Amino acid sequence: MSTNDTVAILANGVAGNQEIVSEQSAGYEEFRAALGYVTQELAKMIARDGEGATKFVEIRVSGATSWEQARHIARAIANYNLVKASLFGEDLNWGRIAAAMGAAAPELDPNKVTITCAGITTWDCGEPVSFDEAQAKSAMQADEILIEVELGIGDAQATVWTCDLTYDYIKENAGPDVYDPTVDSG
């Protein structure tokens, strides 16, 4: 939502290239692929560059009935502060992921959903999956975390990127007199 995280694409014709006016125009597919690559990399850079961020997080939702449904659920997970805080705390708290999904799409059938975080499946078709806590803690210490959610109801998918929610983010955005929990006040 920040105006500082804005990308604008302009075309003024100064380069003198042949104009692309339709999907049938020469160079359309090449331009489309190049533009898609550049904008996707810029989106990732914006997520990586979040104020105070320590982790880059990719959220992939698949098995949805539509791209819109997959994107809505992925964005709900990405924007849920409790998910972002648990990522910073290196806590594989799959319940927070499930809570974000349930709030975004209460019609989902948990018996069809699978949740995997940092390569560890934690929920599989209606059942919690036991996992090694030490292995999970180690996996969550990575600089990049992948959250995968399979909804089991369709073929559509979407991916979003975000970052964790850190003390530094709060300090940078709350103002100069904010409490710093990392400093012992004695």
**What CATH code is carried by the domain that includes residue 34?**
3.10.20.340
Plot region of 13 (φ>0 → left; ψ -120 to 50 → alpha; else → beta): left
pLDDT at 21: 86
- Tell me, yes or no, whether 74 lies in a domain: yes
- Tell me, yes or no, whether 183 lies in a domain: no
Residue 43's Cβ-count burial label (10 Å; 0-12, 13-18, 19+) is: middle
- Tell me, yes or no, whether 180 lies in a domain: no
pLDDT at 178: 64
pLDDT at 185: 59
- Tell me, yes or no, whether 66 lies in a domain: yes
- Tell me, yes or no, whether 16 lies in a domain: no
Sheet holding 156-163, edge to edge: 127-128, 120-124, 114-117, 144-150, 56-64, 156-163
Number of domains in the chain: 1
pTM (two decimals): 0.85
Give SS3 for 123: strand
CB 97 within 8 A of CB 83: yes
pLDDT at 51: 85
Q: Number of helices (H) and strands (E) in the chain: give both, helices first.
A: 6, 6
Question: Could you tell me the residue range of the domain that residue 167 belongs to?
Answer: 25-174
- Tell me, yes or no, whether 150 lies in a domain: yes
Burial 59-80 (b: 16+ CB within 10 A, else e): bbbbbbeeeebbbbbbbbbbeb
- Tell me, yes or no, whether 130 lies in a domain: yes
- Tell me, yes or no, whether 2 lies in a domain: no
Look at the block and give the residue holding tokens 């970052």. 163
Output the tens digit of pLDDT for each of the chain's 186 residues: 566 777 788 888 898 888 888 999 888 999 999 999 999 999 899 888 888 899 999 999 999 999 999 999 999 999 999 999 999 999 999 999 999 999 999 999 999 999 999 999 999 999 999 999 999 999 999 999 999 999 999 999 999 999 999 998 888 877 766 666 666 655
